[in-house]
Amino acid sequence: MNAASTYLSSLTLLIAMASCNMKEKTQIQMKIPPVAKKIQKKLTEHDDVRQDPYYWMNERDHPDIIKYLNEENEYTEQSLQPQTELRKSLFEELKGRIKEEDLSVPYKKRGYYYYSRYETGKEYAVNCRKKGSLDAPEEITVNQNLRAEGKTFYSLGGLSVSNDNRIAALGEDFLGRRIYSITFKYLEDETFLSDQLDNTTGRVVWAADDQAVFYMQKDEALRPYRVYRHVMGTDQSKDVLIFEETDPKFNCSIGKTKSDQYILIYSTSSTTTEVRYFPAAEPFSEPVIFQPRTQGVEYSVAHFGSNWYIHTNYKALNFMLMKTPLNQTSIDKWVGFIPQQDDILLEDFEVFRNFLVLTERTKGLIRFHIKPWDNSEAHFISFEDPTYLAYASYNPEYDTPRFRFVYSSLTTPTTVYDYNMSTKEKDLLKQYEVVGGHEPSDYKSERVWARATDGAQVPVSIVYKKSLYKKGENPLLLYGYGSYGYSIDAFFSSSRLSLLDRGFVFAIAHVRGGEELGRRWYEDGKMLNKKNTFTDFIACGEHLRVQGYANPESIYCQGGSAGGLLVGAVINMRPDLWKGAIAQVPFVDVLTTMLDESIPLTTGEFEEWGNPKNKEYYDYIKSYSPYDNVTQQDYPNLLVTSGYHDSQVQYWEPTKWVAKLRAEKTDDHLLILHTEMEAGHGGASGRFKSLEETALAYSFLLKMEEINQ
């Protein structure tokens, strides 16, 4: 071989080797996802043995788990790298619709008008008030931006002003675990008192003389369980325990009646309530039990005149309103006031001097029932959209004819109204602006009904942009939750416009496990009926496909927390139905979590999912738990999000799930995990920071649809 030939051969070999090395390097950097190590862990219950190779991920702060989470985050960024510019533009687009300098609707309490405002470029609100008139000088109760300076996370969990209007109690979380420290601030000169209360829920209730406050602490499982009395000017170590909830299924909460005359201590589980009360003017008195807890009986109370009014499910599946004299609180003294109705759920009530307002849900939709105390003619506030959200706003004033409520729909931005219950006139106080403009008539909302496998009719709320809708051709995102009796109403989202304006159809499946169609709708989607939640959701997806609301090849699903459980279950059961899925802080390792009572919230969840120490519940939960049912099959593209400091769904649940999916799935679809390392269950704090997570989710969807603008 001559020199030229040798040179060319060597050059060719070098180029080939360089190409191979470059390709290998690219694969390592861009293509190969992290592989989690396996350490087999045998879990045995009821003579059933499960092998969990990723159980080690429960070791919070272990260098290996931190390394693995960071590798997953890097892989997510690499996988979405082609969408980097789109993601940035999406973030700016989402942010650009929000009015940066904005003001909430003021409410009046004890002679002051309270409101919050946002300043241009700031992440957090400034809480303010004005004395006597909106023309008075502004006083700042707390500038959250200043409090958040230098912190990676900030949440104001409570703001309560003393009865004499002089002192504000601030409950603040700087980590994202929903454990708050309470400090006290003189509002006149903005100085802080020496009092500080740690490990609290963030809220206080003031005694009538402002010399004592009442607050709650959490146990190791982050369950609010103790109520303390703190005397202002003393150290927290001197605080007196006035009540301890010893049943781990129950959480505590504290409040005050609208009349300001009584302080209430609630003990609540998923199915049972017990209330204690004492006069706000007698802070050193012993709390009195209103009605001892009776399994399955829920109630809440309000004080009006010489009576207590009780909202309860006692002998009333859809709840009723009862009343009893102030000194006769036992259940045998309660008498019916508003009877229960089989087709109407009585959700809540609000007391005014001359009016009673009932929040009712009928056929899945809210209406307000206005009843004068003088027994003159009652009337309703109802709405015309086919599907919408409406709820009573904060109404602290007692002696007023005005009832404030909030309304929005899939096409109508959030709107605040004052309704004069005497004249029946409605005043629009504020409709939140969509910067850049929004024309509701450009979009169409609908409500349709899907038939479940057992024949139940499941409502589905739908919205799309009229000019971009083509039957059978649009990508569709179906959202669901279906747990704890929470009703997911059809609310407006300016962020969602970024999907609608790119041709997506958005839908909400109002599946069983929520309370949209009454208390029975909830009962039929919990405990040993939980699988109805999943089959309902699948039925909704199928219905939307058959009716042409979606391109059959471009249906996506989304849910968070217990809604993430829903996503995990339906992609196990019907992976072929979905092109992609978004599971946000998903509760997916249900069986292992429910067997570990040291994990926050576990014991309180037994009345929602069942206690797997009972074999019947163990077998049933195991049959649907997403982590336990990962199998060797094709799965849709999947984006999973998590919060490292999440106190409700521990970070290891989504992390383990992703690792197991990677090891078992038989497809090459995208599977990415993003863990917010400085946040908890609610994601990143801050007004705009959270939009980065939305932009991440949307860029994932648009990548799947090959939409690059």
CB 661 within 8 A of CB 655: no
Residue 2's pLDDT band (cuts 50, 70, 90): very low
Q: Which of 369, 646, 674, 690 is catalytic?
A: 646
Percent of the chain with pLDDT over 90: 85
The CATH number of whichever domain residue 537 belongs to comes to 3.40.50.1820
483 within some domain: yes
pLDDT value for 685: 52
3-state secondary structure 444-487: EEEEEEEECCCCCEEEEEEEEEHHHCCCCCCCEEEEECCCCCCC
Three-state DSSP class for residue 122: coil
Q: Which of 294, 327, 345 is the last residue of a domain?
A: 345
What phi and psi, each to the nearest 5 degrees, are found at residue 411?
A: -115, -15
3-state secondary structure 418-449: EEECCCCEEEEEEECCECCCCCHHHEEEEEEE
In this prediction, residues 204-213 reach a mean pLDDT of 97
Domain containing residue 410: 346-434
DSSP label at 355? E
* Count of domains for the chain: 3
Same domain, 444 and 360: no
In this prediction, residues 194-222 reach a mean pLDDT of 94
Same domain, 661 and 599: yes
Instruction: Please check the confidence at residue 358 and state whether its pLDDT lies above 60.
Output: yes
Instruction: Please check the confidence at residue 24 and state whether its pLDDT lies above 80.
Output: no
CB 246 within 8 A of CB 209: no
- Closest by alpha carbon to 263, among 317, 203, 220? 203
87 within some domain: no
407, burial (CB in 10 Å: exposed 0-12, middle 13-18, buried 19+):
buried
| pLDDT tens-digit map of 612-643 | 999 999 999 999 999 999 999 999 999 999 99
Beta bridge partners, 480, equal: 509
Q: Which of 330, 345, 360 is the last residue of a domain?
A: 345
pLDDT value for 121: 87
pLDDT value for 610: 95
Catalytic: 385?
no
48 within some domain: no
In this prediction, residues 496-500 reach a mean pLDDT of 98
pLDDT value for 599: 77
Instruction: Please check the confidence at residue 517 and state whether its pLDDT lies above 80.
Output: yes
Instruction: Please check the confidence at residue 85 and state whether its pLDDT lies above 50.
Output: yes
Measure CA 116 to chain center.
22
Q: Which of 325, 345, 365 is the last residue of a domain?
A: 345
Residue 12's pLDDT band (cuts 50, 70, 90): very low
| pLDDT tens-digit map of 93-107 | 999 999 988 999 999
- Closest by alpha carbon to 355, among 392, 317, 400? 400
Same domain, 586 and 668: yes
Residue 709's pLDDT band (cuts 50, 70, 90): confident
Measure CA 127 to chain center.
23
pLDDT value for 598: 79
Same domain, 446 and 398: no
Same domain, 468 and 368: no
Residue 690's pLDDT band (cuts 50, 70, 90): confident
Instruction: Please check the confidence at residue 541 and state whether its pLDDT lies above 60.
Output: yes
Same domain, 539 and 515: yes
Same domain, 490 and 563: yes
Q: Which of 681, 685, 690, 699 is catalytic?
A: 681
Spatial separation of the C-alpha atoms in residues 682 and 156, rounded to whole Å: 13
The CATH number of whichever domain residue 329 belongs to comes to 2.130.10.120
Residue 682's pLDDT band (cuts 50, 70, 90): low
Q: How many CB atoms lie within 10 A of CB 274?
A: 20
Q: Which of 561, 642, 690, 699 is catalytic?
A: 561
Same domain, 430 and 466: no
What are the angstrom distances between the C-alpha of 344 and each of 127, 270, 319, 387?
A: 38, 21, 9, 17
Same domain, 337 and 239: yes
450 within some domain: yes
Cβ contacts of 150 within 8 Å, gap of 6 or more: none
131 within some domain: yes
In this prediction, residues 520-534 reach a mean pLDDT of 98
19 within some domain: no
Same domain, 211 and 195: yes
| pLDDT tens-digit map of 135-151 | 999 999 999 999 999 99
Beta bridge partners, 601, equal: none
Catalytic: 646?
yes
pLDDT value for 4: 36
- Closest by alpha carbon to 229, among 282, 303, 180, 191? 282
| pLDDT tens-digit map of 378-394 | 999 989 899 999 999 99
Instruction: Please check the confidence at residue 684 and state whether its pLDDT lies above 70.
Output: no
Neighbouring C-alpha atoms within 13 Å toward the C-beta of 620: 17
Residue 672's pLDDT band (cuts 50, 70, 90): very high
Strand pairing report for 555-560 and 580-584: parallel
Instruction: Please check the confidence at residue 334 and state whether its pLDDT lies above 70.
Output: yes
Instruction: Please check the confidence at residue 10 and state whether its pLDDT lies above 90.
Output: no
Same domain, 350 and 340: no
| pLDDT tens-digit map of 220-270 | 888 899 999 999 999 999 999 999 999 989 999 999 999 999 999 999 998
The two three-digit tokens of residue 644, written as one number:
């490292």
231 within some domain: yes
Percent of the chain with pLDDT over 70: 94
24 within some domain: no
- Closest by alpha carbon to 175, among 529, 678, 666? 678
Catalytic: 348?
no
Same domain, 297 and 243: yes
